Structure 1
Amino acid sequence: MTKLAIIQLLKKDKWVLPYFKRYKVALVTALALGFLTFFCSVALMFNSGFLISKSASLPSNILLVYIPIVLTRTFGIGRPLFRYLERLTSHHWVLKMTSSLRKRLYLALEQDAVFLKNRVRLGDIMGILSQDINYLQNLYLRTIFPTIIAWICYFCIIVLLGFVSLSFALLVSGYLLIVLLVVPFLSLSINGERETQMKEMKAELYRDVTDNVLGVSDWIFSQRGKDYVTKHEESEAKLQEIQSKVKRFNNRRAFLTDAFFGILVLFVLIWSSSTFHGNHGGSANWIAAFVLAVFPISEIFSGLATASQEVTTYSDSIRRLNDLPQTTDATSNHLEVPERFDLMINELSFSYEHKSVLNQLSLVIPQGQKLAILGPSGSGKSTLLTLIRGDLAPQEGSVLIDGHKISDFGETISDMISVIQQSPYLFNTSILNNVRLGNEKASVEEVWSALEKVGLKEMVSSLPKGLETLVDEAGLRFSGGERHRMALARILLQDCPIVLLDEPTLGLDPITEMDLLDTVMKTLDGKTIIWVTHHLKGVSMVDQVIFLEKGKLTMSGSPQDLLQTNERYRQLKRIDDGEDTVSIS
């Protein structure tokens, strides 16, 4: 991708370009200070060369070199001063811009955080936060600012040289265009693709590391931990190989660039010697001035090649930001919480990598109904809960609440649906803070009330610090039943009308399991409960039971009706009670 291509991309950009206009005063100030820094550098060397030559010619009066002495001091002070102010202004401008960019990115993603994984991977978001925004900082600091300043300086140099010698000015203009255009073009052609590969590899590493850290238990349980480490090391080795190629090319280019300006010094020396000559100084005093002025010129032009080869990474970062879902700052586009919470599932289908999990499933769950979902592993139970929650988008069909799609509610979905997972997570903070996750505004009295309803008040009261007792990471100091009850207390404070139970009793002993189920059903009475379970323990407490098999509904009805009319259900019940040994799956 060329610089013209990134200009075309910026014209359609909705993330980066607006900050050019918003902070244009600071932008112009940074560019002006950058030019003044360069001007002071060249003027300092030019004036110093003249002063040295003039002093060596034994001036008859100290006043003849007084002005060059004052100018040397002035430019000597001005160069670091303007450099500091330019860095201060440009970095302040860029950091202010990227700070606003990060805030906007957070707000854009946070509004639809519930549905985020429908559209983007978490690793991609990590890549944008860790890489892309940093690349955009470099877009300004290493490409836009230096390029604009370099071209301004280029035209100033040619114009000033034109007053001395038009022919030499034209020669220098063509010679410097090699550094301004040819070398950056070659860098972009050779190293640009490598820079893109490096960025893609880093992004892929972020995705892999994020996905694998979240699924580290799968690697451990499958005993493939070494495979993951080997795969990661191979990716790192490929990245390092490309980085080495980039560095080798950069080193060779830096050597050739230095040689290029060394030749320019010889050109200027030859030209100035033939142009300025005389006895005991005179016009010859200008030879050193012009020769020394070349050295600061090389400083500003030599960095353009490096900036040019990174254009492809900048364009990719801008494209990735603009590919993110565009959301407004207001939540008016999202539906408010409805008056009723009837759930309707219409011809719902979903597949994982061409493996069908749900197939044209239709179901109606009235408000306040307690529904148990059973079925063998892989039948689509947990996927159905995920679709109801909105964490996945249906590939076909729809999930409706009060006639509206789940996705239409946006962030308000968290006010309607809450979840108790198989292993509720407790954080390494106090019991009070853990329970208040359901409602941060809940009073201490409300927390105690919730704990009392789930049967934990007596246990927590007996602890030395009560609600202020610290919970170990993941809540390991509590039993499985206590962790589930604490999670249930959160749900009570959250007070959502629909509660999803994803096998919450898995791994509990039968007595604890039945005790917990009884507590759940009683404390959540009147709410819609959708309970995924792997057996029939406690299903007599629900209003409706459905059985999923290969993504289809194969059995439905109340527990009492099914027990009387459905032979297969009776067989499953006997198996669950230990009265039969026939496989149910």
Structure 2
Amino acid sequence: MNEWLTPSLKKHWRGLLLATVLSLFALLCAAGLLFTSGYLISKAALRPENILMIYVPIVAVRTFGTFRAVFNYAGRLASHNTILKILSEMRAHLYEKLEPSALYIRSKYKTGKILSALSDDIEHLQDLFLRTILPCCCGLIIYAAWIAVLGFFDLRFAFLMALYLLLLVVVFPLVSLIRMRHHYQRIAKSRHELYEQLTDAVLGAADWMMSGRQNQFLRHYEQLENETRQEERAVSSFRKRRDFIAQVLIGICVIGLVVWSGGMSHTGALQPTLIAAFSLVIFSVAEAFVPLSEAVERVPQYERALARLKEIEAPAQHESDETCDRRELPEGSLTIDVSHVSFRYSQNSDWAVHDVSLHLEPGTKLALIGRSGAGKSTLTHLIYGNLKPDEGAVTLNGLAAQSLGPNRSLQFSVLSQNPHLFDTSVLNNLTLGSPDATFDEAVAAAKEVGLHQLIEQLPNGYQTQVHEAGAIFSGGEQERVALARTLLRDTPVVILDEPTVGLDPITERELLQKIFDTLKGKTLIWVTHHLIGAEQMDHILFMEHGRAMMQGTHEQLLQKSSRYGKLYELDVPVRLRKSIIE
């Protein structure tokens, strides 16, 4: 709770206080409007001798009516302005929690879970301020003020009215909270599942269609949706019954006020013209009490939202959360030292990386080779500084890799197997990581990767929209766009996370050659399970079960390891080996 709510309360308490005061003034003006209206009607019914006798109530009615609208609008403006700022900061905080896991976010979080957190959970926390804290503060203040006003005229009646109105201020909200807790929990759970089902269906729509089981999926999705609707109907039905009973209680309260004010008037303790005034003002006062039940019943939503947001953890103990000062950052080329590094994700799990050592001089090209789960990606995250080793150390020019924190992007670029192109112009996609790059620099990078002519042939050249996920480019062309981004970044170290996966061997070799030529002089860390292009690497590290099973250059491994030679023969077609020799 402290992580998501306390910072917002500390930072924006003035805005929330202003919104509360303005909303409170709006309610007081509404009460004043009905009070003076009741008084004016009663006074006019007595047929005053001169219109000036009721001139002040007339002006008061107009004044309260005008300022009620003014304060109501100003209160909503202030509350929404503050809440939108809080909402923006919460989303930014969510991004900050997700960003350290960006390189392996898909393996850590479901897409539907992140979508649910963004669209539902954060919105619910926004409602906490707008629909719970604000109405409760106003309602309690109006309750105290109303009882104080009645106490000025009759303490005993004020005490009885205080007890009676506790039904609306305390009893109804508590009953609503108890009654609706399970409904809200089931609704939140169902919506969360719907988000996961929807994203799963969208991402796998083609496979659903090809399997011929789309109708089965639709039936399951509709069933889940119907369950959610049933819960929502149950909530709506309860609210209608509760609100009806609340209105009945308010009606009884009006009758009680009429009887009390009539009795007070009969004894001369109250002017007869105030009977209607007191009887009408309760309707405005009740406006502050009725929303309290709905405000309190939403508490389970907030608890559920906070619980799910808590699941999106900040960097865990094994994840890097250290940050060095920018002045301490390595400058220029980087020497990477991996000294007897071991790492595992939990105390009960096997070592993901165990006793691995490396020394990479600036400009070295390293290939991390091994099957899935061998520890290649984990070692990459350790070098990148995203993970903190359990044993050993990873240093960059003598500085611990994990201490770079958010500044690591100044030293590393990542060329992944599925680069994402945003639905904006080609130029914006090229300069994504280098917003200060000039147009000429972007064109130079496009020429370097062989994309310039293709881009020039597009309808609007570099201003052409690439559409969602870069639909106007093929897979290989998207990799070239990502390569151009990397060029513009101009970082000393580039991580190649299987950028050629899914390509045929010839295209794969051509793209790798383009990557190696383009990034010449930079330190390359190439994560792959293929051996095509391995002959161009300065150092090869073959991993298995988290250990370094083989190390050396391509020629050294061919000479001393028959296993490596057999793997190379199986992985690299004969025609490609001939082209390499030639």
Shorter-normalised TM range: 0.7 to 0.9
1:538 maps to what in 2?
533
**Partners of 1:426 and 1:483 within 8 A in 2:** yes
Task: Name the aligned partner's letter for residue 9 of structure 2.
Answer: L
Match of 2:329, as an amino acid?
E
- Please give the alpha-carbon distance, in whole angstroms, between the structure 2 residues aligned to 1:307 and 1:200: 20
Q: Distance in 2 between matches of 1:422 and 1:214?
A: 17
CA RMSD, Structure 1 to Structure 2 (Å): 4.2
Partner of 1:303: 291
Note if 1:43 corresponds to 2:35. Answer: yes
Cα deviation for residue 507 of structure 1 reads: 3.4
Match of 2:579 in 1: none
Change (3 A) 1:103 1:116: farther
Corresponding residue of 2:149:
160
Q: Is the 8 A contact 1:35 1:152 kept in 2?
A: no
- Paired amino acid for 1:76: V
User: Which residue of structure 2 aligns with residue 372 of structure 1?
Assistant: 367
1-structure distance, mates of 2:229, 2:347 = 32
For 1:70 and 1:498, how far apart are their aligned partners in 2?
Answer: 79
Pick closer, same or farther for the CA change 1:346–1:307 going to 2, 3 Å. same
In 1, Cα distance between equivalents of 2:428 and 2:264: 82
Equivalence map 1:58-137=2 (5 Å): 59=47, 61-63=48-50, 66-68=52-54, 70-71=56-57, 73-105=58-90, 107-108=92-93, 114-116=99-101, 121=109, 126-137=115-126
Q: Which residue of 2 aligns with 1:18?
A: 10
Are the structure 2 counterparts of residues 548 and 10 from structure 1 closer, same or farther at C-alpha, using a change threshold of 3 Å? closer
Superposed, which structure 2 residues align to 1:239-318 within 5 Å?
Answer: 239-277=228-266, 287-314=275-302
Partner of 1:547, secondary structure, is strand
The amino acid across from 1:363 in the alignment is: S
Greater displacement, 241-250 / 287-296: 287-296
Q: Corresponding residue for 1:362?
A: 356
Q: Does 1:180 align with 2:172?
A: no
Distance 1:511 1:141, change over 3 A: closer
Distance 2:155 2:534 in 1: 96
User: Aligned partners of 2:221 and 2:327: how far apart in 1?
Assistant: 41
Following TM superposition, by how much is the alpha carbon of 1:324 offset from its aligned partner in structure 2, in angstroms? 6.9
TM-score of the superposed pair, with normalisation by structure 1: 0.80
The alpha carbon displacement at 1:22 in A equals 3.2
The structure 1 residue matched to 2:548, chosen from 544, 549, 553, is: 553
Give the whole-Å Cα distance in 1 for the aligned partners of 2:495 and 2:136.
Answer: 57
Mapped contact 1:348–1:394 kept (Cα < 8 A):
yes
Residues 83-116 of structure 1, C-alpha deviations (whole Å, 9 max, x = no match): 3222223222222322332443355455676404
Q: Tell me by how many angstroms 1:66 deviates.
A: 4.8
2:488 to 484, 493, 511: 493
| CA distance in 1 between partners of 2:218 and 2:375 (Å) | 32
**Deviation readout 1:346-384 (Å, 9 max, x if unpaired):** 433446998858242513141322122222344343454
Moved more, 29-38 or 104-113: 104-113
1:195 match? 184
Offset of 1:260 from its aligned partner? 1.4
1:336 to 317, 329, 332: 329
Check conservation: 2:369, 2:543, Cα contact below 8 A.
yes
Q: Classify the secondary structure of the residue corresponding to 2:352.
A: strand
AA aligned opposite 1:263:
I
How many residues align? The count is: 562
User: What amino acid does structure 2 have at the position aligned with 1:347?
Assistant: V
Measure, in 2, the Cα distance between the counterparts of 1:431 and 1:154.
60
Give distance in 2, aligned partners of 1:565 and 1:276: 110
2:35–2:277: 8 Å Cα contact kept in structure 1? no
Structure 1 residue 502 and structure 2 residue 497: aligned? Answer: yes
Structure 2 equivalent of residue 4 of structure 1: none
Q: Does the 8 A contact of 2:374 with 2:543 survive in 1? A: yes
Q: Does the aligned pair in 2 maintain the 1:109–1:116 contact within 8 Å?
A: no
- Give the counterpart letter for 1:336 in structure 2: L
Q: 1:51 to 1:126 in 2, by over 3 A?
A: farther
- Aligned with residue 347 of structure 1, among 326, 341, 364: 341
Highest RCO, 1 vs 2 (Cα 8 Å, sep ≥ 6): 1
Indicate if the aligned counterparts of 1:91 and 1:141 stay in contact, CA closer than 8 A: no
Shift of 1:559: 0.8
- Secondary structure at 1:505 match in 2: coil
Displacement of 1:213: 5.3
State the distance in 1 between where 2:157 and 2:115 align: 53
SS at match of 1:537: coil
Q: Deviations over 1:37-93 (max 9, x none)?
A: 2431441343145236x43xxx4x523x7534641x334323432332222232222
CA contact (8 A) 1:448 1:457 kept: yes
Within the candidate set 397, 403, 407, 1:408 is matched to: 403
TM-score by length of 2: 0.80
Q: Is 1:568 paired with 2:563? A: yes
> 1:575–1:269: structure 2 CA closer, same or farther, 3 Å change rule?
closer
SS across alignment from 1:15? helix
User: In structure 2, how many angstroms separate the alpha carbons of the residues matched to 1:375 and 1:109?
Assistant: 34
Q: Contact between 1:344 and 1:364, CA under 8 Å: does it hold in 2?
A: yes
After superposition, the Cα gap between the structure-2 partners of 1:444 and 1:162, relative to the gap in structure 1 and judged at 3 Å, is: closer
Once the two structures are overlaid, the 10-residue window that deviates more, 153-162 or 523-532, is 153-162
The answer to whether the 8 A contact 1:546-1:556 is kept is yes
SS in 2 for 1:17: helix
- Structure 1 stretches of 5 or more lacking a match? 1-8, 580-585
**Mapped contact 2:344–2:351 kept (Cα < 8 A):** yes
